[in-house]
Amino acid sequence: MLNRLPITPAQRTLLRYWLPALLSGGAAFMAFILLGHTPFVRALALAATISGVTLALRRFGGTLALIGGLAMAFSPAFWSQTGGEDSATLMLIALLLAVAAVAGGVFIGLGRKPSLGMAVGLVVFALLFWGLVGTPRSLRITTLLSAWLIYLLIDALLTANPRPDEPPSAPLYPRHLLGILVLLTLGILNDPLFTLLAPAVVLTLLLSKTRLPIWYWAVIGLMVIIGLRGVAVLYMDSGWWLYPAEQAEAFGIRVPFMMADGWREASRWLYLFGLVIGQFSIVGVLLGAFGLARLSRWYPPLGTVTMVAYAAYAIFGLVYFGRDSVVLLMPLLIIQAMWMTYAVHSFSHWLQKSFSARKEIVRWLAPAAFTLLPLFMLFRITGVL
């Protein structure tokens, strides 16, 4: 159908790449509006998050990316963000980004130095954001930024570290460098807990083997310091940090703070494992484990970076005793969805190789089976099951 459109081959390729993200975002938007009774602006922001998740999965096939994105949309943790009322914060952030882009563009035009323009734009945005927005700690903004940052990290890794049978490696594009820095800065300024993605960001940049200016690393270092300070202030209250986790578990204590020895308690590991099962079912957990194993073999840099990001949030989940932990761990769930999708992608390839005589039929078996997961999750949140 795309071949019949009156557009150039380059535009057709771009549209084919973006189409799964547009479809998943559109379907999720309608579900958020009609089933979740979500205001327009909030539903739009949530749909943009699902589009980001779908783009992060795009390299594993358009159909599987679409299904994986919808599985994320219908997970209980993500669905819990529907409903409510609109907030002006998101619109204000969009305006600040536009102002920062203009400021950076002016400096690029005057000095002909893209790096200087990027630095100026970032500084302008950070100052305006901190002065006008402060630290809103919006969970929806955090989820939106996490999805798109994970997409950029995956795209950067696969650009700089492709498999031998893929196009040759290339240095990171400006969209990677500027996007990663802006999203990391915005995420940390919104909620210091976003700093948990910083190790994955640094590892991605190092694995890309792209030479970066000193100011770029300085900005990342500054944001990490700001983020760590914020985490200490907001999540490491002195009264609870040294409180015995065993005692907290015995009395069922739930407070929005971390306890240092929470990772030692077996019940906390069971809680974290049950949290993931509660989102994607035991089938999703098994698919995720298989997907990680395959990913680590065929795309070692991507497997390593996603494991680092996953581990950072898993450790936080073990030591954090707040009732909102399932929403704070949303980046972990996004990575889980990515591993699940790659598992189905690998299984699909195995089927096609094993039954090459019926390749056209077999290639749809794995996506068809994978479709049952978001359907099951949709029926569950709507009360049908």
Q: Closest by alpha carbon to 257, among 286, 229, 235?
A: 235
Residue 93: predicted pLDDT: 64
Domain boundaries of the chain, sorted by first residue: 88-235
Alpha carbons 379 and 383: distance in angstroms, whole number: 6
Residue 203: predicted pLDDT: 96
Residue 117: predicted pLDDT: 62
Residue 223: predicted pLDDT: 94
Residue 206: predicted pLDDT: 93
Residue 109: predicted pLDDT: 62
Residue 268: predicted pLDDT: 94
Tokens matching residue 244: 């015995």
**Do 343 and 351 form a contact (C-beta atoms < 8 A)?**
no
- pTM for the model stands at 0.87
Q: Residue 218: exposed, middle, or buried by beta-carbon count in 10 A (0-12, 13-18, 19+)?
A: exposed
Q: Closest by alpha carbon to 306, among 217, 210, 201, 223?
A: 201
Q: Closest by alpha carbon to 28, among 149, 153, 184, 147?
A: 147
Q: Residue 137: exposed, middle, or buried by beta-carbon count in 10 A (0-12, 13-18, 19+)?
A: middle
Residue 138: predicted pLDDT: 74
Residue 162: predicted pLDDT: 79
Alpha carbons 353 and 350: distance in angstroms, whole number: 5
Q: Amino acid identity of 169?
A: S
Residues 6+ apart with CB under 8 A from 88: none
Q: Block means of pLDDT (10 residues each) for the chain, length 385 residues?
A: 62 82 93 89 85 91 92 92 67 66 66 58 62 64 89 91 73 85 88 95 92 91 94 86 90 91 92 92 91 90 94 96 90 94 89 72 81 89 72
Please count the residues of the chain: 385
Alpha carbons 181 and 115: distance in angstroms, whole number: 12
